[in-house]
Structure 1
């Protein structure tokens, strides 16, 4: 099992094979361009068997769904304006651009909040997201065979060594050099909160009433850098590449905010922000080549275990590429196991609160932000509903939709 699990995507049987019994079938997939779905005429759900009372049932109303990969924001917007797209993803920083054109604005429960007869967009706002985005350090970077993301691979002003982030002063400095307020106000348009640790706001283990241990403070950032690696970081400078997934402008802005803060304290500090197609980023992350990247987590099930294990356990989805050194790795593994060994919330809560605090104190990563979402559709699309368990890029709601003539 250890040898087989988590194979490269292209090596799996299901990489390019449809597998499911849902209301749509895969007609075609052109990697990097589009996915085309067609209605499953043999779908098993009967007309008198709705998903919930008053919900969709029977065959899907919309016979054909085309999901296009369009990374460039201006192109997506033009498609919406021309009526060529029924739904588009709108990053936080671009939402004010569309607000004057909202025809109908709905809250998370479907209540109409505002209407504008001169608008042309159906908007759903204040949608709570069970997602959080950090900037993730790699404490033991893989440089086997060469690694351009770390430059020279040495602390000589032209790179960083593989264990660069194993020094807690480096990690704390990066945290203090990140302008959390600018991130939330400028990149998220005020629609989000600073993350406190791996556990999101509103969940057991979140330390209610407490602020994050870190805030934007260039003086403290400087102090930490001057202590890092016995002063060698400050004296020699460094270079590394910071990655994010292409098309996610919110993460691009987060990366640029971090770059600006760090480079402002020492002219010998240099960071290159690098956008990568999502599959490329995943492959480089899996190979443990990336020294630092901005990427989020969307919960699989609503429990704090599904937050602390992915980020902090040595075998977690992100934990195994964060590569924490000892004793940090074993300490987190033990706490996570303790919390998972009980079904009693009163036993689990203090353990998760301890994990949450320790994840900040150890500056495992930069716990950046937890955002609030919106959805933007054409007014002729009816039946949209919001389920926070679906992420922003989920198309699970399509089954419930109907499409009227424009």
Structure 2
């Protein structure tokens, strides 16, 4: 078969010592649409990279089983508790832990790791959220001159007992959760310096401020404490092997092969043939139609989700060919097209939630009021939502830009990433409904690889695109600040700002009073509804197909906070019968 030939060539490229037909008992083969951006924890911020990084490196603690709130130690010997009014955290570290280089882990490695995060803190990384907690700013020293070496050194240091001491700049109710993020894995200091990374000193720190580490030497040659070490990584995928010196229980799966396979049909055939154990399987509708009930396949359903998705409408698009004519003349749109709330409201009223839930989610979805998982505290079920209403949508289009939108029409160039079937379908449904309102309206839908899209949306170049957020940590701040704050991660791609919303979000970050935080988040959700900031997509329950011989995955231990969302577990927890 043509597919088996393709699969064999991929396997040979990644596994020089042997080739795969059907996967062996000690080998796990995973296929997904996107590649890996980086293997440097300090630069890790996308799901595809995180799911590899969290198995090479380890954090100080992690979530316990399937819980979103209870935690258990990893590299810490026990869970610490805050002192000094919630601003100091003293962490005792596990002894006898070795890195994959053979170096022994010590407090100096942890100190180096988090100082490196604070020093570099590039826009492409997740380090802004610990910088905010430890230094009082999401910016690095290049963008915020009040950040000094003395502040960084005081925020993270080892005491005389070789304990790691965090000193927060302000109370942060989400700090413990933030430290579970896969990019917070402890780095091998000696190994990193040997590879040419920052030497950890005050003398050289300024040269590393804001440096993009995604292509760093440490990304090419990582050394963590995790159960798996890197053998090979290239454009076609990643090959990991079990680390024999791992301090914990030895994993049953010795080899892990992650292959980049863009076509869903090809991934599906590999899965059904037994050539792949896990795949990025597309939408629920696709899993139920193509995989459920097939020989050798088990489908886990009704699994919790900690993600939120929306169609973004960029209020201030960076000039590019995507704007067409760049004018409201029926041949394109101006850069500020979506800055008119009537335009945004018209699009929100043109999206058919019911059809999306039926066609994409097989009826297992529900409209969301805001971009926060409804399993999280702070979710407001009372906030209004926009129904599918073509008549009301027409009225909003007629009001937009003083009637010029209705009179002249527009051309919008919307993009989705390769393999993002849910996003593609959402755009297609919106396109059908919007173009039916006025023949002068046109939405062109295109596809682009994640490596290209991730750069373009962070540069503000995308016009309209489906984008989701998977929780970095199980706290509402991770979603609310990320989506709605003008200082949040997605601001540059949406460019919507409200001073009152910014104030509410800052207040929610500064208190541990749960009731007060919930009240503030409802106020943000209500304002976002009034302004039609996003087209919020319906919530879904996770569905995961796995090969029937794969063990260690169940509804009870599935944790949606794991970056490795195919199984909701660490790779070391898996085995085959």
Question: What TM-score do you get using the length of structure 2 for normalisation?
Answer: 0.61
How far did residue 71 of structure 1 move? Answer: 2.3
> In structure 2, which of residues 451, 474, 477 is the aligned counterpart of residue 302 of structure 1?
474
Equivalent residue, structure 1, for 2:278: 87
How far did residue 201 of structure 1 move? Answer: 1.1
Question: What TM-score do you get using the length of structure 1 for normalisation?
Answer: 0.86
Equivalent residue, structure 2, for 1:20: 224
Equivalent residue, structure 2, for 1:237: 409
Distance of 2:484 and 2:490 partners within structure 1: 7
Equivalent residue, structure 2, for 1:266: 438
Contact 2:558 2:569 (C-alpha < 8 Å) held by counterparts = no
Q: Which stretch has the larger CA shift, 167-176 or 388-397?
A: 388-397
Equivalent residue, structure 2, for 1:397: 570
**Shift in CA distance, 323/9, structure 1 to aligned 2, threshold 3 Å:** farther
Equivalent residue, structure 2, for 1:37: 240
Contact 2:278 2:547 (C-alpha < 8 Å) held by counterparts = yes
Structure 2: give runs of 5+ residues left out of the alignment. Answer: 1-139, 144-207
Spell out, residue by residue over 1:38-71, the C-alpha distance to the aligned partner (whole angstroms, 9 max, x if none): 11111121xxxxxxxxxxxx21111101011222
Once superposed, what is the RMSD of the aligned Cα atoms? 1.9
Contact 2:251 2:573 (C-alpha < 8 Å) held by counterparts = yes
**Shift in CA distance, 96/11, structure 1 to aligned 2, threshold 3 Å:** closer
Structure 1: give runs of 5+ residues left out of the alignment. Answer: 46-57, 103-118
Distance of 2:519 and 2:545 partners within structure 1: 40
How far did residue 399 of structure 1 move? Answer: 0.9
Find the residue that maps to 2:326 and give its secondary structure.
coil
Equivalent residue, structure 2, for 1:65: 256
Contact 1:311 1:319 (C-alpha < 8 Å) held by counterparts = yes
Equivalent residue, structure 2, for 1:343: 512
Find the residue that maps to 1:293 and give its secondary structure.
strand
Q: Which has the larger radius of gyration?
A: 2
Contact 2:292 2:298 (C-alpha < 8 Å) held by counterparts = no
Distance of 2:539 and 2:331 partners within structure 1: 34
Find the residue that maps to 1:101 and give its secondary structure.
coil
Equivalent residue, structure 1, for 2:113: none
Distance of 1:387 and 1:10 partners within structure 2: 27
Distance of 1:203 and 1:29 partners within structure 2: 36
Find the residue that maps to 2:430 and give its secondary structure.
helix
**Shift in CA distance, 121/381, structure 1 to aligned 2, threshold 3 Å:** same
Find the residue that maps to 1:295 and give its secondary structure.
strand
Distance of 2:386 and 2:213 partners within structure 1: 37
Find the residue that maps to 2:537 and give its secondary structure.
strand
Distance of 2:430 and 2:216 partners within structure 1: 37
> In structure 1, which of residues 281, 296, 312 is the aligned counterpart of residue 484 of structure 2?
312
> In structure 1, which of residues 152, 171, 190 is the aligned counterpart of residue 325 of structure 2?
152
**Shift in CA distance, 362/12, structure 1 to aligned 2, threshold 3 Å:** farther
Runs (4 or more) in structure 1 with deviation over 3 Å come to 2-17, 393-396
Equivalent residue, structure 2, for 1:113: none
Q: Which structure exhibits the higher relative contact order, with contacts defined as CA atoms closer than 8 Å and separated by 6 or more residues? A: 1
1:380 has 2:549 as partner: yes
Find the residue that maps to 2:486 and give its secondary structure.
coil
Count of residue pairs the alignment pairs up: 368
Distance of 1:124 and 1:187 partners within structure 2: 17
Equivalent residue, structure 1, for 2:368: 195
1:360 has 2:529 as partner: yes
> In structure 2, which of residues 318, 321, 326 is the aligned counterpart of residue 142 of structure 1?
318
**Shift in CA distance, 274/9, structure 1 to aligned 2, threshold 3 Å:** farther
Contact 1:313 1:320 (C-alpha < 8 Å) held by counterparts = no
Spell out, residue by residue over 1:347-375, the C-alpha distance to the aligned partner (whole angstroms, 9 max, x if none): 21111111111111111111112221111
Distance of 1:27 and 1:85 partners within structure 2: 19
Equivalent residue, structure 2, for 1:109: none
Contact 2:560 2:568 (C-alpha < 8 Å) held by counterparts = no
How far did residue 21 of structure 1 move? Answer: 1.4
Equivalent residue, structure 2, for 1:114: none
Contact 1:34 1:66 (C-alpha < 8 Å) held by counterparts = yes
Distance of 1:185 and 1:161 partners within structure 2: 35
Alignment of 1:39-54 (within 5 A): 39-45=242-248
Spell out, residue by residue over 1:355-401, the C-alpha distance to the aligned partner (whole angstroms, 9 max, x if none): 11111111111111222111111111111241121253577532111
How far did residue 14 of structure 1 move? Answer: 4.2
**Shift in CA distance, 276/230, structure 1 to aligned 2, threshold 3 Å:** same
Equivalent residue, structure 1, for 2:496: 324
Distance of 1:321 and 1:100 partners within structure 2: 37
Alignment of 1:50-129 (within 5 A): 58-91=249-282, 92-98=284-290, 101=293, 119-129=295-305
